[in-house]
Structure 1
């Protein structure tokens, strides 16, 4: 049984290479329950690979990830077989992922998209899943779109469906991979507003974003990454407001000057 005072998420020594490209170089961090952590840094710094490792969409080469009472040591994880599948499935079930590009099933309605995971993966009763999905769609402001298909929605609406779909799995932590990067500028605000609401409601979230001002408003913790390592960490007031590392200052100047 996990110590109730322990962090909800504990990542230690995470390593990942794609051929000669060493993407993660000993990543360590923790996330407390009910808090928001933002991962900042230039493209290629390893931010998305961290999220994909937490959700086991990528399998790290070594290091451990614990979410709640489920822990996987990737150095000792079998390369294949039933034991490996069971361990990774248990860890994956602890988190919900919101992707950059929605990844909705185009042939399914909004409601069908949201209930797919609970019904097909978690084997929950369909009626229960539908009731939960309608509540979530109401929460993200899309209850009236339940019977429509993704092509009938704006990009911002599709992303809000993606958020509802992730929440429908009742995860311990919600992972956002640059959730506004594929949106037209005028649609960004509606998605960020939903994420702010989730943070204020006590959901545990980890967000990869270039929206620096948004990060300052919602995050309890910020990590700045470069070259596969955590260069700087702390509160947003520390990392964004008063960065100590020159590489962090350079990155923030470039992003903020670009508007």
Structure 2
């Protein structure tokens, strides 16, 4: 992959992924600059979540070169387990459905990765976790279990858990789609703050107004390709592709 003078936290070239006969990603290429927020929008089945999971190698791509942080992999070639492990450690993933350990407290959920995976001292991991809980407004919930929290609170714990790994990029898979409408705002507010603080974010979302407000870059995906990309004023405010126009009109002007 050709290096660029800009400090990119993510660079993807020609990423492909199929599930059986269904080719979900068809040669996707894009870059994410350090300290910026990129949102991925598009219709259901367009490949948004698969692209995000491919960046984290949760779904290992069939082909393409991806660099995340200081780790680069050519997925068309066999990948050693230790190389894949180092690559995955570059990103933190916030799942759509929280994915918290139900038998662990909020504090234990956040410190699990740093202590078990990264082998950091427990006291250091707990201090970082408490600071993150303060940041997401849940310091008082440290000893509670996931079932004692609202959906929005669980998602904020999920965000703190991803940040605790000190990743080079944080990946969000539709972080509000499983929430009741009244809880959406509290999660989007936390993500908005992270963008302001300079975290590098890639967010799959159906919240178009949020994407417009928080994004430095918007990718519109359709049928496994990036059909349109650029700043939100262009992609959302003045889309050039007919498919993008149709999608946004349906979302922003429902019957």
If the TM-score is normalised by the length of the shorter chain, which range does it land in?
A: over 0.9
1:67, distance to aligned residue in structure 2 (A): 1.2
- Superimposed CA distance per residue, residues 6-64 of structure 1 (whole angstroms, 9 cap, x where no aligned partner): 42210000000001100000000000000000001011111111111111100100001
1:85, distance to aligned residue in structure 2 (A): 1.0
Q: Who is 1:71 aligned against? A: 72
The question of whether the paired residues in 1 share the 8 Å contact of 2:7 and 2:34 is answered with no
Q: Who is 2:39 aligned against? A: 38
Q: Residues of 2 paired with 1:214 and 1:258: CA distance? A: 17
Q: Residues of 2 paired with 1:122 and 1:7: CA distance? A: 24
Q: Who is 2:25 aligned against? A: 24
Q: Residues of 1 paired with 2:247 and 2:21: CA distance? A: 25
Q: Residues of 2 paired with 1:226 and 1:155: CA distance? A: 30
Q: Who is 2:175 aligned against? A: 179
TM-score, length-scaled by structure 2: 0.97
* 1:207 and 2:208 correspond: no
1:154, distance to aligned residue in structure 2 (A): 0.2
Question: Paired residues, what number?
Answer: 253
Q: Residues of 2 paired with 1:91 and 1:250: CA distance? A: 37
Name the SS of the counterpart of 1:187 in structure 2: helix
Q: Residues of 2 paired with 1:222 and 1:203: CA distance? A: 16
Report 1:1-259 matches (<5 A): 5-78=6-79, 84-258=80-254
Name the SS of the counterpart of 1:8 in structure 2: strand
Q: Residues of 1 paired with 2:13 and 2:177: CA distance? A: 28
Q: Which runs of 5+ in 1 are unaligned?
A: 79-83
Q: Residues of 2 paired with 1:241 and 1:56: CA distance? A: 32
1:4, distance to aligned residue in structure 2 (A): 6.2
- Superimposed CA distance per residue, residues 195-239 of structure 1 (whole angstroms, 9 cap, x where no aligned partner): 000000000000000100001110000000000001001100000
1:152–1:123 CA distance, 2 compared to 1 (3 A): same
Q: Residues of 2 paired with 1:3 and 1:19: CA distance? A: 35
TM-score, length-scaled by structure 1: 0.96
Q: Which runs of 5+ in 2 are unaligned?
A: none
1:122–1:43 CA distance, 2 compared to 1 (3 A): same
Which runs of 4 or more aligned residues in structure 1 lie more than 6 Å from their structure 2 counterparts after TM superposition?
A: none
